[in-house]
Chains A and B, each alone.
Chain A
């Protein structure tokens, strides 16, 4: 039996006490693993958000926000300039329009409501409006009655409509080719239900016959009451060749966003409004950074607690077995051998606690991560309600960020486990340092003095 075997046997010498110590260590190490997993998951999400959202730049015609304001759409020439700008990796062009009752055989699925009536009050006085029922106002002036409308988005990438920043959810059928010019459309769930549209159904818009190629769902009622068609199709149908009302640009790195914005402002002048998602992305991950810091604090706290548990336990054991240590030294045991035996005892207790703690940590890491994320995600957030989803990319980033917050999952990676094992060994080493020093100080002569 060598010194290591003696150390292992020494660790289980008192099963009750060893069991209690192992349970305490398991809880602490479990907390370390859970916190490390939560932190890894959060860090992954932060990097993901920064890598994606923080590289976004949105360009709109100056003075336009959704369907409010006024100005000229971006031209094909301007879009081409943007595409050729250094560090721009991709662009998504969109053009939005609204279908009045005379433009389509579809019945809008959105209620007009007081907000809609307020927006259309000028048109009701006959200032300007799509064709519709006539309203006679109290002063005798005539105009069109306010009517709900159906929003049409022409885009080169239908996924840009997704409100979570990811891929658009197609509940039936398939997506459309945004870069094509086919008379096909993706129909929002609510609009499809209102008009009994299914995949393959046809409807008319702008005097043309469209085919419903798929039904999409975003869980946003405004979006789910609209249509998505290829950009070129909408440009052609509305006689706006090359027109774009929003251009979403992706930079190759968040580090280059500022230089791209500067370059675009220089090349496009004051005809456009340019906003980057970088600051909003930083803001949206701030709460995640808070969770990451909290998790790290938890890791440090639990590591210290575990080290103190091992230290106090081993100090108690060394004091109890002072005589035994003296005997071992008296019969020829070196300090190194005795210390190795007791460090092995500490390691054995810590490793058993570590294995149980690892399993415990993995088991609870998901719920702990969700608890931390939910508590942060439920903090009041400032989200603009103006403009609706078409209000632009900024809102989309924030909404995506919030949904992303809740989508954070704990990440038990090999790195997490390696860190956990490293900390466990650190705990054993720190916890054994003082006892080892005490062992070295015990003089074998004390065995005889206590006779």
Chain B
């Protein structure tokens, strides 16, 4: 999935005047690229991710995903876009607490339109691919470690074979070793499935190992570092 962002602007009204979270952002991501976005807190990283994931509407600009402007989609089509083409990985994992790991993954499969009879096997397969065994799959998130929860979160993100994974600080709550393992998992995906990944991170070490890194500063996007590790 290729992405082309043109003149993207997001403004929030505030008592002291409008706040420009994103100002005239332009960048392009090619299919299968692993891109990182770094920046200080409040620099607009999560806002940019929201626009790319069709979670929010920009004030101006366009986001062309495979030649289709997702900012022009209806609410219903944006939901379909999220369920079939996008996988989200969050810093806080955001698993549904009263569902087991297996059921969390099956939930995404349900939203993707998979037949009920196939969901369980597919979910177990996805969980196994991220290193979650069947015993762990039957536990609720509260009974799993942070790293295990993030693996479940990645399995959920992969459920409908998305072309794009948007990860918001995926290693932010994990220790160094676990963070490295999660990064490797995401990195391998880009190579094995040609999945495009855009990750927001504070971790410059991780950012340095992606295909391309952008920095968000006061709502503006600049090239920070380009390179492959």
Point out the residues of chain A lying under 8 angstroms from B94, CB to CB.
323-324, 327, 330, 447
Give the CA-CA distance A451 to B50 in the complex, in Å. 12
Q: Is there an interface contact between B96 and A328, defined as CB atoms closer than 8 Å?
A: yes
A445 at the interface (CB under 8 A from B): yes
Once A and B bind, how many residue pairs between them come within 8 Å at the CB atom? 76
B190 at the interface (CB under 8 A from A): no
Give the CA-CA distance A448 to B106 in the complex, in Å. 22
1/0 contact string of B180-192 vs chain A (CB within 8 Å) = 0000000000000
Give the CA-CA distance A330 to B94 in the complex, in Å. 11
Q: Is there an interface contact between B111 and A332, defined as CB atoms closer than 8 Å?
A: yes
Give the interface size class of chain B.
Answer: 20 to 34
B128 at the interface (CB under 8 A from A): no
B214 at the interface (CB under 8 A from A): no
| Contacts A330-B53, A332-B83, A334-B76; A449 near B46 (Cβ below 8 A) | yes
Give the CA-CA distance A332 to B105 in the complex, in Å. 12
Taking the closest CB of chain B, its distance from the CB of A317, in whole angstroms, is 12
Q: Is there an interface contact between A331 and B156, defined as CB atoms closer than 8 Å?
A: yes
Give the CA-CA distance A444 to B110 in the complex, in Å. 18
1/0 contact string of A1-38 vs chain B (CB within 8 Å) = 11000100110010000000000000000000000000
Q: Is there an interface contact between B53 and A451, defined as CB atoms closer than 8 Å?
A: no
Q: Is there an interface contact between B103 and A1, defined as CB atoms closer than 8 Å?
A: yes
Point out the residues of chain A lying under 8 angstroms from B53, CB to CB.
330
Of chain B, the residue at the smallest CB distance from A451 is B91
A333 at the interface (CB under 8 A from B): yes
Find residues 105-163 in chain B having any chain A CB closer than 8 Å to their own CB.
106-108, 110-112, 116, 156, 160
A87 at the interface (CB under 8 A from B): no
Q: Is there an interface contact between A448 and B50, defined as CB atoms closer than 8 Å?
A: yes
B55 touches which of A1, A333, A444 (Cβ 8 Å): A444
Q: Is there an interface contact between A331 and B56, defined as CB atoms closer than 8 Å?
A: no
Of chain A, the residue at the smallest CB distance from B108 is A331
Give the CA-CA distance A448 to B53 in the complex, in Å. 11
Taking the closest CB of chain B, its distance from the CB of A186, in whole angstroms, is 75
Q: Is there an interface contact between B84 and A330, defined as CB atoms closer than 8 Å?
A: no
Taking the closest CB of chain A, its distance from the CB of B9, in whole angstroms, is 16
Point out the residues of chain B lying under 8 angstroms from A447, CB to CB.
55, 90, 94
B106 touches which of A1, A324, A332, A333 (Cβ 8 Å): A1
B34 at the interface (CB under 8 A from A): no
Of chain A, the residue at the smallest CB distance from B169 is A451
Find residues 412-441 in chain A having any chain B CB closer than 8 Å to their own CB.
none
A448 touches which of B46, B98, B107 (Cβ 8 Å): B46
A329 at the interface (CB under 8 A from B): yes
Taking the closest CB of chain A, its distance from the CB of B81, in whole angstroms, is 9
Give the CA-CA distance A181 to B46 in the complex, in Å. 105
Q: Is there an interface contact between B96 and A330, defined as CB atoms closer than 8 Å?
A: no
Give the CA-CA distance A9 to B96 in the complex, in Å. 12
Q: Is there an interface contact between A10 and B103, defined as CB atoms closer than 8 Å?
A: no
Q: Is there an interface contact between B90 and A451, defined as CB atoms closer than 8 Å?
A: yes
A443 at the interface (CB under 8 A from B): yes
Give the CA-CA distance A425 to B116 in the complex, in Å. 29
Taking the closest CB of chain B, its distance from the CB of A222, in whole angstroms, is 74
Q: Is there an interface contact between B110 and A448, defined as CB atoms closer than 8 Å?
A: no
A443 touches which of B47, B56, B83 (Cβ 8 Å): B56
| Contacts A1-B106, A6-B99, A448-B49; A333 near B111 (Cβ below 8 A) | yes
Taking the closest CB of chain A, its distance from the CB of B208, in whole angstroms, is 22
| Contacts A6-B99, A448-B168; A331 near B82 (Cβ below 8 A) | yes
Give the CA-CA distance A10 to B83 in the complex, in Å. 22
Q: Is there an interface contact between B83 and A331, defined as CB atoms closer than 8 Å?
A: yes
Taking the closest CB of chain A, its distance from the CB of B132, in whole angstroms, is 18
Point out the residues of chain B lying under 8 angstroms from A330, CB to CB.
53, 55, 82, 88, 94
Q: Is there an interface contact between B80 and A327, defined as CB atoms closer than 8 Å?
A: no
Point out the residues of chain A lying under 8 angstroms from B26, CB to CB.
none
Point out the residues of chain B lying under 8 angstroms from A444, CB to CB.
55, 82
| Contacts A331-B107, A332-B83, A332-B111; A445 near B96 (Cβ below 8 A) | no
Q: Is there an interface contact between B91 and A445, defined as CB atoms closer than 8 Å?
A: no
Point out the residues of chain B lying under 8 angstroms from A449, CB to CB.
46, 50
Q: Is there an interface contact between B82 and A448, defined as CB atoms closer than 8 Å?
A: no
Of chain A, the residue at the smallest CB distance from B172 is A451
Find residues 209-249 in chain A having any chain B CB closer than 8 Å to their own CB.
none
With A331-B83, A333-B83 given, can you name 10 additional A-B contacts, CB distance below 8 Å? A324-B96, A327-B96, A330-B53, A331-B88, A331-B107, A331-B108, A443-B56, A445-B50, A448-B46, A449-B46
Closest 7 CB pairs of A and B: A332-B83, A332-B111, A445-B56, A445-B55, A445-B50, A448-B46, A327-B94
- B residues sitting closer than 8 Å to A (CB atoms) are 46-47, 49-50, 53, 55-56, 76, 79-80, 82-84, 88, 90-92, 94, 96-99, 103, 106-108, 110-112, 116, 156, 160, 168-169
- A residues sitting closer than 8 Å to B (CB atoms) are 1-2, 6, 9-10, 13, 323-324, 327-334, 337, 443-445, 447-449, 451
A-B contact pairs, 25 of them (CB 8 A): A1-B106, A2-B110, A329-B82, A330-B53, A330-B88, A330-B94, A331-B83, A331-B88, A331-B156, A332-B80, A332-B82, A332-B83, A332-B160, A333-B107, A333-B111, A334-B76, A443-B55, A444-B82, A445-B55, A448-B49, A448-B50, A448-B90, A448-B168, A451-B46, A451-B168
